[in-house]
Amino acid sequence: MSEQTPVIMHMQIPSDTKYLAAIGSLVEALVGIREPSLGFSLQLALTEAVANAIKHGTRSPATDDVGIDLFLDAQAVRMRVHDHGPGFDLESVEVPDEDELSDHGRGLQIIRALVDSLSYGPTPAGNTLEMIKFFPPPAAAEPDDS
């Protein structure tokens, strides 16, 4: 991939968790071409976001869909997940209490730890969770002694 040419992808999937593996693997592979160290973590962030959209953001799971946009260039990867649910206040979602040992509620905690920017709100595509991860700057070239 030329790092000057962005990868732009839009997907629309049924509201069904059986699509998670395919989408996650595709995004990990695409990100991995640019920055191998981030492929796994961004697959995980996207999987959490899409699973949340399927679970909480669909009006009718049998007929609804989830939209996913990926924009990958030399500086960053931007992922947007669009749902059609009632929405939620991102800032009011608290980190699970470790002592309570809940068996759910860690999805946003994981996403927050893996991306540099996270936002959620209404857009023309529905309610949109946007995740941005900036790539580390390229290592300085070794001096050429020849």
Partner 1 sequence: MNITVTQQDKVTIVAIDEKRLDANNSGELKSQMIDLLQSGQRNLLIDLEHVTFIDSSGIGALVSGFKNATAGGGKLFLCNLQQQVQSIFELTRLNRVFDIFADRESALQKLG
> Phi and psi dihedrals of 37, rounded to 5?
-70, -15
**Residues 112-131 within binding reach of partner 1 (CB under 8 A):** 113
93 touches 62 (CB < 8 A): no
Q: Is 8 in the site for partner 1 (CB under 8 A)?
A: no
Site string for partner 1, 51-90 (x = CB under 8 A): x--xx-----------------------------------
Q: Is 13 in the site for partner 1 (CB under 8 A)?
A: no
- Distance of closest approach, residue 12 Cβ to partner 1, in angstroms: 18
Binding site for partner 1 (CB under 8 A): 17-18, 20-21, 24, 40, 43-44, 47-48, 51, 54-55, 98, 101-107, 109-110, 113
